[in-house]
Structure 1
Amino acid sequence: MFVLFFYLFFSSFSHSLVIADKIAEKFDLPRNYVKENLSKAEIVDKVTDLISKPAETKEWGDYKKIFVNEQRISLGKDFYRKYREELERAENEFYVSSEIIAAVLGVETFFGRYSPEFNALDSLYTLAMNYERRSEYFTYELGNLLLYSYKNNINPKEIRSSYAGAIGYPQFMPSNILKYAVDFDEDGLVDLVNSMSDAIGSVANFLKQHGWHYSDPTAVTVAFGRERLTGEWMSISKLKEKGVSFPFGLSEHKIKLIRLKDGENDIYWAVFHNFEVLKRYNPSNKYALSVLLLAVALK
């Protein structure tokens, strides 16, 4: 038993050193700084349990009830009234709908009411070490967390996050903080944890940088969709030729059909470029559609 424990401990320790070397080299960080912080990181079993059971595994009807319901819509309208000036300024500067910005924050952190349970260092370290399927990705995000902490003189152990290491009101991964976060309140700091203004501007900037097309459609339900037509980008006219019926006239966009299961029913949606931009935030069709439906409810 002792030999097994020693083997597992040594194996984990060696892996940690490999990760420390990889991060220090890739992010040009002092090796001692990386090693010191990783020595403080802890493996949290709950993190790996949660990432294996994400909400996106639920059926569409159950998923939608979590994010598009009377309470969230009511709180969203209050949120929009409170931050109307910042939301509309972000729309004017980044050309992203203010309701979409608000809805992203509503889905991500319940308009700022979500309190993160974990710390980012432990979450990302756990996933880098123990979640083999995406270990490389979480090692990369762990490196970005340490880079962000080093540049801003922050103790990474004190940064709160989701179980997957997402941070602040907009739930940005560390790499996205470094790439897309903005000082929207112009106080000299980029603070996604305490400044809702910075969160609003950062969500807008993220969507803009990923190609959001202002005033373009995002998704629409269609009738007579079929499974064999899903997943391929086609023109609206071509889909009409194949029998798909649209609820109103649309200009000749490229679209893709998706199918969502709601109990016994199949629901088909035609999704546009902007839908794919929302999926850059979270690659789930259910996530992007929840953001869109919540945004529509806030108008």
Structure 2
Amino acid sequence: MISKISIPAAILSAGLFFSLSAGANSQFLERTEVQSFIDQASEQTGLPRDEVAALLGKARFQQSIIDAITRPAESRTWGEYRPIFITDKRIRDGVSFWNEHQELLEEISQDYGLSPEIIVAIIGVETAYGGFIGNYRVLDALVTLGFDYERRGEFFRGQLIEFIRLADEQGLDMDKALGSYAGAMGLPQFIPSSYRHYAVDGDGDGRIDLWESKADIFASVANYFVAHGWGHGEPVAFKVDVADAEVDDLLNKARDLAPKTTLRELRERGVIIPNDAPEVPADFKVMLFTLTTDDQVEHWVGLNNFYVITRYNHSVLYAMAVWELATKIAALRES
């Protein structure tokens, strides 16, 4: 087995959790859907059925996880969301973080073709450069959401199976690994499936540590972006004026974020493209989306790289925050 990842002691506080009674855990394990999952997980992971059951028996239901996922920051308007992440402190801290890891960031940027400011901004938005990595046991988060969050239960049960596989592959202690309320881990907040499929061993020590190894962390973020089609040096987004154009049917809304229109079609509808907009082929697929502040609705065009950011977190608010934070960090660092 690969050596265990060293998880910071600061995120292993046992006092952060409340546990179900033994009777309640027994009732949980007797649920039909839980028994079916135990069979499925045992078959897919190779773990004996009794070990899967024992693992689930250690999980603690946490209502605060359900509460958190039903009111995500991404449900806010841009006017409410932006001040959370675009602050003078987060920009300054981003410059300091970049300077501290300059050599490594530049090396990974050259290897993967992803600018350092994007890597830094992702970590800045996700965990404030490692300042807050999450205080939920990943096991608790995935079990709670997998069996008591009906809207996306199937997804989180799948992530629970991925977590079991990940723990076996990387030697993770499933009792102690902490993350977000959605089960995302480390500085870049990878969910288990992303950890298994996109995280890389950047420092070559034979394990992938997204809590402590900056080489692993930076390389994993870069690998994720490149795997999803990031174009080095390509533009990200620009603002447009819709004037009186009828474009509601062209807007990307909610989780429907795949580019579905073109600049040619936008122009034909009467959308005004600014003269300083990046040069993009007229038939290139783009996104059209809105950002709402207190007193206005802005229309923006997202290009391929903007869409790639939404693949990290399926929200135009998130993508815009990452892009703006990256831009401001780079500008301050160069000033």
For normalisation by structure 1, the TM-score amounts to 0.92
Q: Does 1:150 align with 2:165?
A: no
Give 1:251's aligned residue.
280
Equivalent residue in structure 2 for 1:242, among 269, 272, 275: 269
Q: Does 1:230 align with 2:251?
A: yes
SS at match of 2:291: strand
Spell out, residue by residue over 1:250-292, the C-alpha distance to the aligned partner (whole angstroms, 9 max, x if none): 2314322101211120011100111111111110110011111
Give 1:68's aligned residue.
86
CA distance in 1, matches of 2:79, 2:306: 19
Matches for 1:55-134 after TM superposition, within 5 Å: 55-134=73-152
Does the CA-based 8 Å contact 1:23-1:140 persist in structure 2?
Answer: no
Q: Does 1:295 align with 2:313?
A: no
For normalisation by structure 2, the TM-score amounts to 0.83
Q: Does 1:13 align with 2:30?
A: yes
What is the identity, as a one-letter code, of the residue corresponding to 2:95? K
SS at match of 1:158: coil
Q: Does 1:203 align with 2:221?
A: yes
> Residue 245 of structure 1: CA displacement?
2.4
CA distance in 1, matches of 2:290, 2:99: 34
Give 1:218's aligned residue.
236
Q: Does 1:264 align with 2:329?
A: no
What is the identity, as a one-letter code, of the residue corresponding to 2:269? K
CA distance in 2, matches of 1:76, 1:214: 21
Matches for 1:32-51 after TM superposition, within 5 Å: 32-51=50-69
> Residue 45 of structure 1: CA displacement?
0.9
> Residue 8 of structure 1: CA displacement?
11
SS at match of 2:312: coil
> Residue 127 of structure 1: CA displacement?
0.4
Does the CA-based 8 Å contact 2:29-2:57 persist in structure 1?
Answer: no
Does the CA-based 8 Å contact 1:184-1:197 persist in structure 2?
Answer: yes
Does the CA-based 8 Å contact 1:29-1:147 persist in structure 2?
Answer: no
What is the identity, as a one-letter code, of the residue corresponding to 1:273? N
What is the identity, as a one-letter code, of the residue corresponding to 2:280? S
CA distance in 2, matches of 1:295, 1:96: 12
Does the CA-based 8 Å contact 2:73-2:81 persist in structure 1?
Answer: yes
> Residue 196 of structure 1: CA displacement?
2.0
> Residue 183 of structure 1: CA displacement?
1.2
Output the aligned Cα RMSD.
Answer: 1.9
CA distance in 2, matches of 1:11, 1:90: 46
- Indicate the larger mover: 97-106 or 149-158: 149-158
Does the CA-based 8 Å contact 2:38-2:49 persist in structure 1?
Answer: yes
Following superposition, which runs of at least 4 residues in structure 1 exceed 3 angstroms of deviation? Answer: 6-12
* Structure 2 runs not aligned, ≥5 long: 1-22, 253-258, 331-335
- Indicate the larger mover: 86-95 or 68-77: 86-95
- Indicate the larger mover: 6-15 or 107-116: 6-15
Give 1:3's aligned residue.
none
SS at match of 2:40: helix
CA distance in 2, matches of 1:153, 1:80: 30
Does the CA-based 8 Å contact 2:108-2:219 persist in structure 1?
Answer: yes
CA distance in 2, matches of 1:251, 1:147: 42
> Residue 7 of structure 1: CA displacement?
11
Question: CA 1:33/1:296 → structure 2, altered by over 3 Å: closer, same or farther?
Answer: same
Does the CA-based 8 Å contact 2:61-2:143 persist in structure 1?
Answer: yes
What is the identity, as a one-letter code, of the residue corresponding to 1:80? W
Question: CA 1:7/1:212 → structure 2, altered by over 3 Å: closer, same or farther?
Answer: closer
What is the identity, as a one-letter code, of the residue corresponding to 2:51? Y
> Residue 18 of structure 1: CA displacement?
2.0
Identity %: 35
CA distance in 2, matches of 1:32, 1:200: 38
> Residue 27 of structure 1: CA displacement?
2.7
* Structure 1 runs not aligned, ≥5 long: 1-5
SS at match of 1:157: coil
CA distance in 2, matches of 1:160, 1:150: 16
